[in-house]
Amino acid sequence: MAALGWLTPRRRSATARSVLAGEASAEAARKSSQEQEELDALAARTAPDEGEREPEFPVVGDDKAAAFFDLDNTVMQGAAIFHFGRGLYKRKFFERQELFRFAWQQAWFRLAGVEDPEHMQDARDSALSIVKGHRVAELMSIGEEIYDEYMAERIWPGTRALAQAHLDAGQKVWLVTAAPVEIATVIARRLGLTGALGTVAESIGGVYTGKLVGEPLHGPAKAEAVRALAAAEGLDLGRCAAYSDSHNDIPMLSLVGHPYAINPDAKLRKHARERDWRLRDYRTGRKAAKVGIPAAAGVGALAGGAAAAVALHRRRH
């Protein structure tokens, strides 16, 4: 009837029309209020209370969780193997032309911000030929010096804070890199991390032979190494985190429940955004559209390289 009254206003007096308008307005207000109350009630039923909100990450005391960090351009600016080569040249391990090659590869890496497989393979081959005949203990000692000379100042503070957040939560933190395991171990120790998975160069009697044990720890091999280490450590990969700058590490990132793209190359950035992974770019300080960081933080082994690294370590000792 109210609607009919609006259609035939002439049949009512001004007072009647005013009453009708008032009644219609009141009814609309009442209906609106009821709808809002229903929405508020629904929100109250479905919204988590303070004790049910998304927990902080990393989770303190979760001994089934760990964090895995790529090294080059994720933890450290540039590539560790290039800095290592620079240090070896200073100690007259090789000639000037080799230094020029290392310098060119490092310059390209820093400008492009991505790994070139040919450059990385060339660098690994050069390093293997250079260290052939040298003692493992000698290279470990030199690695400590090279870290202080060329690497320490190139650690990204933001990524370092992320790693520290996991350590503060009582979790283990591992480097996973195609760099020589000896150098990776030095870096991990100097940063206070748990350890490192990296390239295992063959040694007999503590002397490098110039060969690799298996294949480089790169791409899918990193994921296999992480999987093997997680099994040995009794970790739940769904509760673990992984951090990398490179699309080559998508297999490793996809393996864990908390993948992070750090200083990502274009392919990884696109992949991460499509899957709503967390991103952080310390090269510019900017955040990507879907950004998040843990609350507390404001030349390679064969697939399954963890076992090879342990075996080689035992053989040396």
The pLDDT value given to residue 130: 75
Give the lowest-confidence range in 57-66, 143-152, 211-220, 225-234.
211-220
Could you tell me if 204 and 301 lie in one domain? Answer: no
Overall domain count for the chain:
2
Residues paired with residue 265 on neighbouring β-strands, in sequence order: none
Q: Under a CB-based contact definition with an 8 Å cutoff, are residues 311 and 287 in contact?
A: no
Catalytic residue among 49, 62, 63, 70: 70
Our answer to whether residue 72 is catalytic in this structure is yes
Could you tell me if 238 and 144 lie in one domain? Answer: yes
Under the banding of pLDDT at 50, 70 and 90, the label for residue 270 is very high
Could you tell me if 291 and 215 lie in one domain? Answer: no
Could you tell me if 242 and 302 lie in one domain? Answer: no
Could you tell me if 187 and 312 lie in one domain? Answer: no
Q: Is the dihedral of CA 172, 265, 217, 209 positive or negative?
A: negative
Under the banding of pLDDT at 50, 70 and 90, the label for residue 15 is low
Residue 25 reports pLDDT greater than 60? no
The residue type found at 212 is L
Could you tell me if 149 and 287 lie in one domain? Answer: no
Catalytic residue among 40, 49, 72, 116: 72
CA distances from 191 to 80, 153, 179, 257 (A): 14, 12, 16, 24
CA-to-CA distance for 158 and 291, rounded, in angstroms? Answer: 14
Does 108 fall in a domain? no
Q: Under a CB-based contact definition with an 8 Å cutoff, are residues 225 and 301 in contact?
A: yes
Q: Other C-beta atoms within 10 Å of 273: how many?
A: 15
Give the lowest-confidence range in 64-68, 113-117, 175-179.
113-117
Our answer to whether residue 249 is catalytic in this structure is no
- The domain of 308 spans 283-316
The pLDDT value given to residue 103: 56
